[in-house]
A = this chain, B = another copy of it.
Amino acid sequence: MGVKDQGSKKLLPGGRRGFLKAAALGAAAAAGSAAFPAPAIAQGRREWGLVTTWPKHFPGFGSGAELLADLITKGSDGRLTVSVYGAGELYSAREAMDAVLAGEVEMGHGAPHFWGDKVPATWFLASMPFGLTSEEMNAWFHFGGGQALADEVYRQLGCKFFPAGNTGMQMGGWFKKELKGAGGYKGLSIRAAGLGAAVMTAAGAKVASLGAGEIAPALAAGKIKAATWSGPDGDLALGLQEHAKIYHYPGWQEPATCLDNFINLKAWEQLPDDLKAVVRGANAAVNQMVLSEVTARNYAALATLKAEHKVVVKKFPDALLNRVGKLSGEVLNEFARRDKLSRKVLDAILEFRKGAVGWSNISDRAYQSARNLPFAYAKPSPKK
């Protein structure tokens, strides 16, 4: 996954504040009213804007932002009203953070690595090649010290951070030809993003940086021979299955990508405690709901890809996984050399990962193998 830029309006002087003020004045004039309402906050009621890095109703992600706004607005009984602006409505995806930092809107919804050029430690908060799964990452954020560290990272951006959704496991991507042997990435032109792209480059791939809408055309034209984007549901939406038929797994490069809710730090600090509790609770809910929606949609999408598009779902060879596993460690260390905070975050995740892998090996991993043993299990009743 990568930052998806759907448009590129420049931040306007006056920004959303100007835009909204003009709209409100227009509406008041149209209604024939001379009385302009007192500032909302003076009545103990706040109005916030939430700018997203995805289109307004994008499945899972966009609906997560809508749910966040809805839970805050309804839950606070209107004391804090949040309006969602999808990517391209007021700001492009790439402008989302700047709009929040400038105070033109109060909060945004994206993913930590979108801000890697501003604060490098955000790279490690999104998803790490061969790193934590979504369940493990949530355990780290909430009960492993991750929230405090992530807040330290986002303070450098001028924001408060909440984990606000997760993609769960992604796929390894689409390939015109099956990757064989340890050196499969060597010389391959592939669209990829984030830390995974850096690992593929280290493995000899020629990585193309393309936005969401550019991937399918590049595959169709043969400019790239492979592409990673997300999981079955997100990939199906982009139509990648039309131009490459080998669908490799597992998605070692992005095992669980965290979404972020970033809030202008001053706006956050000015919230009274009860509204802080509302925002905190809404984010914990959205964090769960986005993962659940993407997970459920992936089941259906995977079935569609196999049945209707004759996609060949194929595991990466172990030799290749072993190779990129080693390279992942090297790339992570390299990125962590950029600054002390990056190393601090990486160290904390690696420490937590030891316990996570130990437990998952005897819990989820062992269980998921056991339920695939050849025994006959219960079946749904025949449909009438």
- Residue numbers of A with Cβ under 8 A of B are 70-71, 74-79, 130, 133-136, 138-144, 168-169, 171, 231-232, 249-252, 255, 273-274, 277-278, 280-289, 291-293, 295-300, 302-303, 313, 315-316, 318, 321-323, 325-326, 328-330, 332-333, 336, 343, 346-348, 350-352, 355-381
Cα distance A280–B281 in the bound complex, in angstroms: 10
Min CB distance A376 to B, Å, is 6
Min CB distance A255 to B, Å, is 6
Choose one: B328, B364, B371; the contact of A368 (CB below 8 Å).
B364
Q: Are B373 and A365 in contact (CB under 8 A)?
A: no
Cα distance A347–B326 in the bound complex, in angstroms: 44
7 A-B pairs with CB atoms under 8 Å apart are A71-B277, A71-B281, A133-B368, A281-B281, A321-B373, A325-B370, A360-B368
Min CB distance A157 to B, Å, is 24
Cα distance A300–B351 in the bound complex, in angstroms: 12
Q: Are B302 and A355 in contact (CB under 8 A)?
A: yes
Collect the chain B residues with CB atoms within 8 Å of residue A299's CB: 139, 352, 355-356, 358-359
Min CB distance A309 to B, Å, is 15
Min CB distance A365 to B, Å, is 4
The 4 nearest A-B residue pairs measured at CB: A299-B355, A284-B285, A325-B375, A169-B363
